Structure 1
């Protein structure tokens, strides 16, 4: 959330700067006269908002009604850089009488130009640094190292989620070691340290995921329900579902057995636990939750990404054609696009819903904490997060001590571990601070004004499986958040399972 706020801040400051004369520039130049400054600012607003709007629309192209599946997927995947190209091209459509500096464009000297060479030779001046400054640098160094460790840990967990069924082992310690050497090398050649693993790491895993559409799920649900009606044992139910999966997925049986292991445990739980009461197997719920997601694991795309970053140095003449206002619009897009799926943001929105309208939330897909956590605890935790966000944001504004902004993150560990459990019940706290994103399906419209599941009295709404096969990317967009986290979607806590057929509940008609 802090990153989103910082992006928005930079975007706003950038748009405002379009109306001002840049530092170290001659204010007497024609392009810096009032009328042209005003024109540059208005064009900046148009290009920024234009890129923001079109980028958000193109990102959701998979839900469009128009165009073929591959076209919608192409726009959704590459629409944002395409919009940058489109708005850059539109910036050259201004009348010829407008000065060449309007609209304002990016400025970046080439690596071999004189303005850049001083950065490459910074190592020769390191011997002149006073010892006191060397020891003082340990403080920000520890802060940055901790921030990198935190950033890398979060990215690793999101990119290697259990639900992705990754087969190749992770190289966590190797990655940390390589990151350390890269940071050292960047410092020796005068480059800022780079550790850009969010959000592209989980997005990379998400883009490599493969789904077979709703067809496999529908066939497996039909097979399970048919077996239940025939009073088949749990082993027979699972066996028929596995046979359907193997037949449609065309994968080796050994691989399928491993991928369906979690589903098997749920189906055979009763046989393994004997007479102990268990949760009844529900084909609709459990197949949705445990149907495996397969990922094409490879390193070619990562290598190509690094090579393209290196090649971008040679593309600087083309990059300098991009208007700065387009960059501010892109910053806004990055901030806004990261908000959906953020629990903190969703809880902030809930605080603005009047009590008489809160029941509307339960009629649509909603986060699980909406029903499981009382409103006052949710509001208390959200307000605490908001105040702490303001503190972290305020630290970044301190000129000299701004480098210490990771310090509040470390203090938050102590607060979360020892202070918050005394104010909020641990089970509520786990739900509000969950690492996984869990959603509940919507229910029938109702008259109750409370979120609490105990006060709800609704009948079951059964949705038939969609018989239309959709593209993998469309399905994966519904299963994941904008940040690449897999959603765990279950039925509402209060939903009565009327009409559901269970193995133990079958009664012979007389």
Structure 2
């Protein structure tokens, strides 16, 4: 409704605004090629060897982009009941990207902002709540209908090109900005950033504030802000081609955070690395193993104590007298 209102306002006022560029025909972008792109063309043979370097960078970027969106959608705060298929999703993304490469179509992966907006639109909240109390989050209505309709309508939109070309670009930028700002709610990183400008007595009752000191929370948030700023600056320069490598560098930064923060603090502000969880599980399993399953040692085994035998015969009720004893 807001898009239609501002498009009508733009047409009534006759403003010279940049409009959305929509192709009028569905055809290849270059007239000298068809729908099928041959992988081996007239390029020299060494081009195919050299292309492995940017291909590796693109693979890292696609993997991180797809998996980060999937992890955000499947986080425990959303209370999803159905299991997630990270490997299956990534497999089909790879298959579809290979098909798009042969057809010369653009690649696509999971969109983080759109995925979060989709999850927010399917949230279920309690209806009965006290005055002034926020409704309680119950979960997400898990179904596939809305996702199918979104992509079907996206495909149908190619037939609406004569109408879409009247939409001003500032209107679309405003919609994207609203979607981005709306998706920030519920993200712990954004909530921790707002704590910098909030006095302690007005801070919400977050669970991590009850277990982690405020100074440690601010320090952890500062490290994340610095990493985000470095990535942002790097992406805006000529070094943007190594952007995927810098994303992998965040894994090194996360590993170094184990030296600055305790595992207790990281468990509340972030997730503990998987290898640490495995080590803890192994230690617990070793403690729970019975004596017979433990490995042999050089010391002699201690023999078990003999069982205590308790007589089960009933004792006489009347004690014997002196005459009975003498007899």
Rounded Cα–Cα distance in structure 2 between residues aligned with 1:341 and 1:128: 52
User: Is 2:102 the partner of 1:188?
Assistant: yes
- Residue 429 of structure 1 corresponds to 266
Q: Structure 1 residues 181, 430: CA separation in 2 closer, same or farther (over 3 Å shift)?
A: same
Shift of 1:175: 2.0
Q: List per-residue Cα deviations over 1:198-252 (Å, max 9, x = no partner).
A: 244454455445566348xx9xxxxxxxxxxxxxxxxxxxxxxxxxxxxxxxxxx
Q: List per-residue Cα deviations over 1:340-383 (Å, max 9, x = no partner).
A: 32322332232244xxx33222xxx3432334322322222222
Shift of 1:165: 5.0
Q: List per-residue Cα deviations over 1:438-478 (Å, max 9, x = no partner).
A: xxxxxxxxxxxxxxxxxxxxxxxxxxxxxxxxxxxxxxxxx
Q: List per-residue Cα deviations over 1:18-50 (Å, max 9, x = no partner).
A: xxxxxxxxxxxxxxxxxxxxxxxxxxxxxxxxx
- Residue 230 of structure 2 corresponds to 391
* Superposition map of 1:375-414 within 5 A: 375-399=214-238, 401-414=239-252
Residues matched between the structures, number: 266
Give the counterpart of 1:359 among 197, 201, 205.
Answer: 201
Give the counterpart of 1:130 among 17, 29, 44.
Answer: 44
User: Is 2:166 the partner of 1:166?
Assistant: no
Q: Structure 1 residues 197, 332: CA separation in 2 closer, same or farther (over 3 Å shift)?
A: closer
- Residue 339 of structure 1 corresponds to 184
Rounded Cα–Cα distance in structure 1 between residues aligned with 2:197 and 2:168: 37
RMSD: 3.2
Shift of 1:392: 0.8
Q: Structure 1 residues 185, 119: CA separation in 2 closer, same or farther (over 3 Å shift)?
A: farther
- Bigger radius of gyration among the two: 2
Query: Structure 2-normalised TM-score?
Result: 0.69
Q: Structure 1 residues 350, 414: CA separation in 2 closer, same or farther (over 3 Å shift)?
A: same
Rounded Cα–Cα distance in structure 1 between residues aligned with 2:217 and 2:72: 25
- Residue 312 of structure 1 corresponds to 157
Query: Structure 1-normalised TM-score?
Result: 0.46
Rounded Cα–Cα distance in structure 2 between residues aligned with 1:212 and 1:403: 47
Rounded Cα–Cα distance in structure 2 between residues aligned with 1:428 and 1:114: 53
Q: Structure 1 residues 388, 320: CA separation in 2 closer, same or farther (over 3 Å shift)?
A: same
Unaligned runs of 5+ residues in structure 2 are 131-135, 273-327
- Residue 17 of structure 2 corresponds to 103
Structure with more contact order per residue of length (Cα contacts < 8 Å, sep ≥ 6): 1
Q: List per-residue Cα deviations over 1:316-358 (Å, max 9, x = no partner).
A: 22111101121222232233223332322332232244xxx33
Rounded Cα–Cα distance in structure 2 between residues aligned with 1:360 and 1:211: 25
Shift of 1:122: 7.1
